Structure 1
């Protein structure tokens, strides 16, 4: 087996596992499921990963890396923080629609190593991105100047996780997409100045009939 092929197979295992974890949750997916989907043997998978936990960690890192790239791209392409938030809302809807609601809670409960990767991402990437956006909004006059960006960024991080908690928002009573969007709306509208709200209304006017921001 050549080095190039080895790299490809390992990456394909990660990609397949990530797709299954997102759709079905971390607990339900087995090594047999991954092998069957790829039409390979479990023995081949074990040549690259010693156990399921190691695959969970690799898939979690891959998913978060791609999410980081997407956030960076949206931030760079946005002319202002309001446009960035509009794009983030669309991204939230897309992500929530594709991710199994139980995935985050299962990662926390059953895979502590993968959960630590997620926590590190929250602290190093998500927190910094949020703080940049909040500070940018304050400097441009779209957000109130009287709040601490670090405190509000940390609050927002916890809100995201809370929305996936089935104990707080049971799946049989709440639509997870609606929960995430409404909580995000509550958070953002509490920060906006009149200038920020005015610009947001301008973006709303340019939406197609089937699109919504909040």
Structure 2
């Protein structure tokens, strides 16, 4: 791993742990035992570090999600995607999302593009496969439901809709997903879903 990549990886780790505004270039340099001047040899400012760190993070996410394609069925795939999202949220300081939205629009645009393009297409394909497998209901509109699923992810992270002093991003996300999945599965799909949840460590709400 070269110096530039080390700076991005350390920056990503610090941003996820403390948020963006709380982390300075001095903090990144200190963690890597390098000078701040060294960082500026590779990046013009903090915004560029944040933007490229988020781009690097998203590329890792794409690889992780792509590995889920060969699972048993569409319910398991959708649940595993959600598990990845929940694990990411559990590992991220909630202020990171707010900081990106307000102070780093380029970095936030990378996150949004990932959700609205890569993730949306993955959900469309997943729903189409689930209908063919007989575990998602016939007559569903994959495009509409994919947009709904992506917007649920946005909603769970929206501090205005779900203030952090009243709602947990993690719990809110899972509850929205639980309503979503139970609205599209057949009886066969519901059985797959409930059996799968019993096998993995995902918090559950009351199932219908």
Normalising by structure 2, we get a TM-score of 0.91
Select between 195-204 and 157-166 the one with higher mean Cα deviation: 195-204
2:12 counterpart of 1:44: no
> 2:195 is matched with which residue: 180, 202, 210?
202
SS in 1 for 2:94: coil
Matched residues, number: 204
- Map 1:10-29 → 2, pairs under 5 A: 10-29=4-23
Q: State how far apart, in whole Å, the 2-side matches of 1:170 and 1:105 are.
A: 12
> 2:152 is matched with which residue: 145, 156, 159?
159
1:89 Cα deviation after fit: 3.7
Partner of 1:141: 134
Q: Which digits, 9 at most, give the CA deviation of each residue in 1:59-103, with x for residues without a partner?
A: 111111111111111222x01112213323432332121111121
2:28 counterpart of 1:60: no
Q: State how far apart, in whole Å, the 2-side matches of 1:91 and 1:119 are.
A: 17
2:66 counterpart of 1:72: yes
1:147 Cα deviation after fit: 2.1
Does the CA contact (< 8 Å) of 2:78 and 2:123 recur in 1? no
> 1:177 is matched with which residue: 164, 170, 174?
170
Structure 1 runs not aligned, ≥5 long: 1-6
Q: Which digits, 9 at most, give the CA deviation of each residue in 1:143-197, with x for residues without a partner?
A: 1122211111111111111111112112221222111111111111111111101
Q: State how far apart, in whole Å, the 2-side matches of 1:47 and 1:115 are.
A: 24
- Map 1:181-192 → 2, pairs under 5 A: 181-192=174-185
Q: State how far apart, in whole Å, the 2-side matches of 1:119 and 1:89 are.
A: 17
Does the CA contact (< 8 Å) of 1:86 and 1:213 recur in 2? no
Structure 2 runs not aligned, ≥5 long: none
1:213 Cα deviation after fit: 5.6
2:3 counterpart of 1:9: yes
Does the CA contact (< 8 Å) of 1:90 and 1:213 recur in 2? no
Q: State how far apart, in whole Å, the 2-side matches of 1:116 and 1:86 are.
A: 25
Partner of 1:4: none
> 1:90 is matched with which residue: 79, 83, 100?
83
- Map 1:105-144 → 2, pairs under 5 A: 105-144=98-137
Q: State how far apart, in whole Å, the 2-side matches of 1:193 and 1:73 are.
A: 26
Structural RMSD (CA): 1.6
Q: State how far apart, in whole Å, the 1-side matches of 2:194 and 2:19 are.
A: 38
